[in-house]
Each structure stands twice: as C-alpha cells, then as structure tokens.
Amino acid sequence: MKKGLIILIAVLVIAGIVVMSTFGSYNSLVAMDEEVNNQWANVESKLQLRFDLIPNLVETVKGAMAHEQEVFTAIADARARLAGAGSTDEKVQASNELEGALSRLLVVVENYPELKSNQNVTALMDTLAGTENRISVERDRYNGVVSKYNSAIRSFPKNIMAGMFGFETRPYFEASPGADVAPKVNFD
C-alpha cells in the first residue's frame, strides 16, 4: 500500500513538473512573439515617419530641379508600393526600394550646390538622415528579437511546443539585392 502511494505521488509530481514546464515554455514563446510584434511596430512607425517626410523633401527639391524626373518617379512608385504592402515581406521589399530611390535623390542633391545651400532642403535632409538612422536602429533591434524568437521555437524542447501551438519563424529585415553598391548619377 505504501509503495503504491509513493509511486502515485512520484507520478503526480512528475506530471506537475511537466505541466508547469509546458506552461512556462508556452508563456515564454508568447512573450517572445509579442516582443517581435512590438519591435516590428517600432520599425513600421519609423517607416511611416519616412513615408510622411518624403513628399515634403521631394516637393522642395522638385522646384529646383524639374529635369530629374526619373528620380522623383522612382520615389513615388516605391512610396506607393510601400503604402500598398500587406505582409512583412512586402513591406521590407518596398522599404528597400524606397531606400534605393532616396539614396539616388541624396546623390542628386549633393551634386547641386544651390540645393545644398537651401535652408528648407537642408532641414529636410537632416530630418531624413535622422529618420534613416532611427529606421536602421529599429531594424537591428527587430532582427535581434527575431533571432531570439526563431532560435527559441527551433530549439528542443520548445520546438515541440511551438509546433503544437502554431508558432512559426519570423522573417528578418534584410537588405535588398544590390544595396551594397552605391548609386551612380550621370549628368551627361
């Protein structure tokens, strides 16, 4: 009788440990998932800041250099794709396209001394540069929390829990192909 009671207590203790471990694993995955969502929201808020700033910059610069229509068209197209992007992957790709178009605009502005001396352009360029820095910081933070989250849901035994409750890996914010090559502007 005592032996059966000891075995029953041992089984209950082990079952309790398993249940508590399961709750702990699930709760930590939920917390990490929310951290990824929160960090992505931070990235999106900075992307929105850039999105809102660009028309002011473009209109200010456009008045001084109407012949640079290709750059303005690329910015408008990339901005429209970003506005219409639905998934995280689409937003990353559209943001990268917009970043490339903006870098071409920055090269154009650098090549026009009268634009660089315009106070409105200078103020907008400084604001845009600050925004780009904030975007970069938030992207790095996002990739950091995605790395922790993806590692957790792929590691044993949390991978079992993740599979049971539908936790899936999240995409990293990666640079677009060719981002490592500086844009070239030719005024021939």
Domain residue limits, the chain: 21-165
Name the pLDDT band for 187 (thresholds 50, 70, 90): very low
Output 67 or 111, whichever has higher pLDDT: 111
Please state the pTM of the whole predicted model: 0.58
Count CB neighbours of 13 within 10 A: 10
User: What's the confidence (pLDDT) of residue 186?
Assistant: 47
User: What's the confidence (pLDDT) of residue 63?
Assistant: 62
| Fold assignment, 21-165 | de novo design (two linked rop proteins) (1.20.1440)
pLDDT tens by residue, 2-61 = 888 788 787 888 887 777 777 777 888 888 889 988 888 888 888 888 787 777 777 766
pLDDT tens by residue, 124-136 = 778 878 888 888 8
Report the distance separating Cα 136 and Cα 152, nearest Å.
24
pLDDT tens by residue, 154-179 = 988 888 888 988 999 898 877 666 65
CA dist 164 to 22, 92, 150, 153, 158, Å? 11, 29, 15, 11, 10
Output 115 or 75, whichever has higher pLDDT: 75
**H helix runs in the chain, sequence order:** 2-64, 69-84, 88-110, 113-116, 119-154, 158-165
